[in-house]
Structure 1
Amino acid sequence: MSSGTEHDEDRFRRVYAEDFESLLAYALRRVAHPEDAADVVAETFLVAWRRRQDIPVGGEARLWLYGVARRVLANQHRGGVRRQRLGERLRQQLVVSVADPGSEVPERLAVRAALAGLAEVDREVLMLTVWEGLRPHEVAAVLGATPAAVRTRLSRARARLRGLVGDDPGPPGHVLDVLTASTGKED
């Protein structure tokens, strides 16, 4: 390691020790949540570490760090605005493309109750097959089993689920009906 590099690292350590608290206070006064201030300070000192050879000497270091923190805050704010806009667009798309989940609450509760009565592996095989749309050989890859074992497990899981919900799970197309019916996706 060169003498200049050692000097830069020593200066960074000194600046960190001297200016951490004031930089944290600066960030805390500018964000809504303390954890955001911690992120700002961490990012600021990351920039300072990467650019340690550019850290000014003397009292100018704190001012330089405030400038870096100010840019970090601006980037954080812009990112927050982008996330907000994206979230709003996604919410609008969901409203258009997704049915009112309240209408499915009783059905969902019945499904959850029925699935809770199954062993974990049976539940997982059913959910991967029906909800995720995986074929038995794909479920086998996920679970680390053979496709034959998955097909057997799926058949048994459906029978157990039918035993839990009875012969009449609901109107055609009802979620329980779909879970207990064969998918026709056999390998």
Structure 2
Amino acid sequence: MYEDGRRRASMSSPALDGDVEDDASIIGRSKRDPDHFAAIFDRHAPLIHRYLARRVGGDMADDLVAETFLIAFRKRQGYDPGRTDARPWLYGIATKVVSQHRRQEERTYRYRNAITPVPDELGHADRVAAQVSAQAMGPLLGTALAKLSQKDRDVLLLVAWEDLSYEEVATALGIPVGTVRSRLNRARKKTRAVLTAAGSTSNHQEVVRNGR
């Protein structure tokens, strides 16, 4: 279902077709005719599903996507018509939905930690901490994310995984841009500290194994 939605979304991307109707217009029409809101689901459900799957696992993500768009549908009357891109709004709703499943999210990170071997070399800790991505989701990073506060983790992952700007994150979470910056800096520092400490431990173990 989400793969089909992704293909439809890519075919109607504003980057490919300048005549594509923006999200605000679609949501505006859906206020009069609810059936039009399906276009918002088709356009954005794949991205929201990917985001949720990274945070709580694929099985739960299916249910949370449905919950996210149900909430969005119910709140569409209050949507700001000046915001042509609905992604920050949808990410904000999805993030609030995730917050109700914090334990599952942390279990997801720890599970990844349990099934992935610990690397011996962590010289790139600073780079990984600054650019958290799905591809970089290794065991140590999973541990680091699980240790962050919910608010700091929300900001870090919206910036790093979903590539939202500081302004978009502020809109999504309903906080000032300055707060986004401070939470992001704090999250990066804490993540870097965990990775650096783990790297030191790993290097120490390597020395012991080699008898030096």
- TM (norm. structure 2) is 0.31
Structure with bigger gyration radius: 1
- TM (norm. structure 1) is 0.35
